[in-house]
Structure 1
Amino acid sequence: MSNIRHRKSSTAANKDDSPPDSPQSWEKNFDNDGGNGETPTEQHTPIAVPSKLDKFLDTWTSFSAKTFTADQGLKVLQYSTWAVCYAARSKRGNLSPGLRKLYNELSMTRYVFRMFGFFQSLEGYRSGSWAGGTWDNPLIAKIAKYLLAGSMIFYYPLDHLAYAGWQMPQLVRVNANKVSQISCLFWSVYTISDFWVSCLKWKELKEKLGSLESILTGKKKNDHKEDVAALVKEEANLLNKIRHIKLQLVRCLLFVLPCINWSLPNWATDPMLSELHLNGLCLAEAYAAVYQSLCSL
C-alpha cells in the first residue's frame, strides 16, 4: 500500500499563558530561647533562571504528553522522512528504500494513535467542548457539536476498520480501501466545518478586538494606567487567539485537496494527486500544525 493515507483531526486547546507567580520572600521567626532579640531579617529566595536545555525539555514534555500533539510530531517525522526519500530516489544505495520503509511504518503507527480518537469525539459531542470556549454566536457551538465531533464519531470506527482490514485481511474480510474512502468523506465534512467555524470565530474575535481598542484608546487619554495594563493583556490574549485561528484556516486549506483525493473511490489505484503534490501538502500542514501547537504551550 504505497498510497495509504494518513491524517489527523485537530482541535484547538486554549491555555492560560500568563507567567507563574514570582517567589515570595519569607521570614524566619526566632524562639525566645534561641533568638538574640533582634528584628528578624527578611530573606529572599534567589530566582533560578531556567537554561535553554530546561526550556526545551519542558516544552518537549508538554508536547509529547498529549496524544494529538505527539501524533503531530510523528506526522512531521513521517512526511519529512518521505521528503528525504523522494529527494534521494534517483541515487543508488539503500537510503531511499530504507526511508520509504520507515515512512510506511510511521504511517501505520499513526493509525494506532488514532484509536484514542473515538471517545474523545464522543466526549466532544456530549459536552460541546470542541467549540473551544464560550462564544456569542450560537452557531459556533452547534457546528462544533454536530459537524466537528459528530463527523469524527463516524470517522474513527471506519478508520479503525480499514486499518484492521489492511493488517489482518484473513480475519477482517472487508474492502479496506473502500472503508477508508468512506471514512475520508466524514473527514472531509470535518475539514470543511472546521474552516467554517474558524471563520466565524475569527469574525467574532475581530469585533471584540475592535471594541477593546476603542476602550483602550480612551483609557490611555485619561491616563488610567491600571486599566490600560489590564486591557493590554486582554488585547494580547485576543491577538494570540486570532493567530491560532489563522493557522487553523491555513491547515484546513492545505487539507482540501488531500481530502478530495482520499475521498474518491479509486484513491489507492488511480489517485487524483501525484505523490509529490499529495505528500507535499501534507508535509506543509504537518509543520503548520506543530508550529500552532508550540505557540499554544
Structure 2
Amino acid sequence: MAEELASKIVGYASTTSKADKVSKSIGYGLATLARVIELYAARPTRQSQGLGAVASQVSFARYVTRFTGVFECIDALQNDSWNYADDDPVVRQVVKAQIYSMLLYYPLEHVSFVGFVAPKLLNVDAMRYCRQSCMAWTVYVVLDLYANNRRLEALAKKEKALEAKTIDETDPEAVAERAAGLATIKATRRSLVLTQWRNVLFLPNCIHWSTERGIMPEVLVQFLAFAEGILGIYQTWH
C-alpha cells in the first residue's frame, strides 16, 4: 500500500502542472496556518512569521514554472483550445479571448517577479505589475466560467439525445457504445464541474489581488487559495 502510494505521488508530481498544484497547496496551506496563528494570538508570532516566510519562498518558486506559459498560450491559440475540443463557435471565440488575456498575464507576472526578487536589475513597481497581471487573470476566470457553463449545457443536450436514441437492446455492441458515450459525458461533466468550483474559489482572490487595498481579510485569501489547490489535486489525481 505504501509503495503504491509513493509510486502514485511520484508519477503525479512528475508533471510540471501537477507538481505546481502540490506546491501551491503547501504554500497556501502554510500561509493559512500562519494567519490562523496570528488571529489566535492576536499578534504576529515567531511561528507565524516563520511559516509566512516559507510560504513566501514557495510562492516565488512557483513564478519560475510560469516562464513557459506564453508558449502554452501560443499552442492553444493555434488549436483554439486549452483542453477541450469545442464545437461551439461562441466557446471557441471565448477561448481565444482567454488566450489573449493570458498572453498579457504571463509577461506582467515575469516583470513583477523580477521586480520583487531583483529590484536593482529592474526598477519597477512590482506590486503594480502584479495587480495588472491579476486583472488579466480575472478576465480569464470570468470567461472560463461562461465557457464552461456553455460546455455543460451542450453536454446535457448530448446526454439527453444519447439516452433517447433508439438502439437494439439485444445488440451488445450498440449497448456498449451507448454506455461508453454516456460514461465519457459523465467524466467530462465531472471535470467541468470541478473546474467551475475552482473558478469560484479563484475569482474572489483575483479581484482581491487586482486592487491596491484588497477586499478580504488575508486569512480568507490564503484559505481560498489553499482550498483551490487541494481541489485541483483531487481533480487531476486520477
For normalisation by structure 2, the TM-score amounts to: 0.91
> Which residue does 2:151 correspond to in 1?
201
> Which residue does 1:109 correspond to in 2?
61
For the 8 Å contact 2:36–2:219, the answer to whether it is kept is no
Change (3 A) 1:183 1:93: closer
Structure 1 CA distance for aligned equivalents of residues 75 and 173 of structure 2: 40
For the 8 Å contact 2:134–2:209, the answer to whether it is kept is yes
Deviation at 1:95, TM superposition (A): 2.9
Deviation at 1:55, TM superposition (A): 3.9
> Which residue does 2:47 correspond to in 1?
95
For the 8 Å contact 1:251–1:289, the answer to whether it is kept is yes
Write the letter of the residue equivalent to 1:118. Answer: V
> Which residue does 1:138 correspond to in 2?
89
1:282 equivalenced with 2:225 (yes/no): yes
Provide structure 2 residue ranges, at least 5 long, that are not aligned to the other structure: none
CA RMSD of aligned residues (A): 1.9
Deviation at 1:219, TM superposition (A): 3.4
1:239 equivalenced with 2:186 (yes/no): yes
Deviation at 1:58, TM superposition (A): 4.3
Structure 2 CA distance for aligned equivalents of residues 202 and 143 of structure 1: 15
Deviation at 1:245, TM superposition (A): 0.4
1:63-102 correspondence runs (5 A): 63-89=12-38, 90=40, 94-102=46-54
SS at structure 2 position matched to 1:116: helix
**What CA deviation, in whole Å up to 9, does each residue of 1:29-57 have, x standing for no partner?**
xxxxxxxxxxxxxxxxxxxxxxx345434
For the 8 Å contact 1:159–1:179, the answer to whether it is kept is yes
For the 8 Å contact 2:29–2:222, the answer to whether it is kept is no
Structure with the greater relative contact order (CA < 8 A, sep ≥ 6): 1 or 2? 2
Q: Which has the higher helix share?
A: 2
Deviation at 1:248, TM superposition (A): 0.8
> Which residue does 2:174 correspond to in 1?
227
Deviation at 1:230, TM superposition (A): 2.2
Change (3 A) 1:131 1:172: same
Structure 1 CA distance for aligned equivalents of residues 148 and 129 of structure 2: 29
For normalisation by structure 1, the TM-score amounts to: 0.74
Change (3 A) 1:170 1:93: closer
Write the letter of the residue equivalent to 1:243. Answer: R
For the 8 Å contact 1:130–1:148, the answer to whether it is kept is no
> Which residue does 2:107 correspond to in 1?
157
Write the letter of the residue equivalent to 2:50. Answer: G
Deviation at 1:235, TM superposition (A): 0.9
Structure 2 CA distance for aligned equivalents of residues 58 and 211 of structure 1: 41
For the 8 Å contact 2:35–2:218, the answer to whether it is kept is no
For the 8 Å contact 1:155–1:187, the answer to whether it is kept is yes
Identical amino acids, percent of aligned pairs = 26
Write the letter of the residue equivalent to 1:190. Answer: Y
1:213 equivalenced with 2:163 (yes/no): yes
Provide structure 1 residue ranges, at least 5 long, that are not aligned to the other structure: 1-51
For the 8 Å contact 2:23–2:58, the answer to whether it is kept is yes
Structure with the greater alpha carbon radius of gyration: 1
For the 8 Å contact 1:131–1:140, the answer to whether it is kept is no
For the 8 Å contact 1:131–1:141, the answer to whether it is kept is no
Write the letter of the residue equivalent to 2:18. Answer: T
For the 8 Å contact 1:72–1:289, the answer to whether it is kept is yes
The runs of at least 4 aligned residues of structure 1 exceeding 6 Å deviation read none
**What CA deviation, in whole Å up to 9, does each residue of 1:122-153 have, x standing for no partner?**
221123231512x3311222221x21211111
Deviation at 1:204, TM superposition (A): 0.8
Deviation at 1:62, TM superposition (A): 3.5
1:182 equivalenced with 2:182 (yes/no): no
Structure 1 CA distance for aligned equivalents of residues 127 and 93 of structure 2: 32
The total of aligned residue pairs comes to: 235
Write the letter of the residue equivalent to 1:260. Answer: I
Structure 1 CA distance for aligned equivalents of residues 33 and 14 of structure 2: 28
Change (3 A) 1:57 1:227: farther
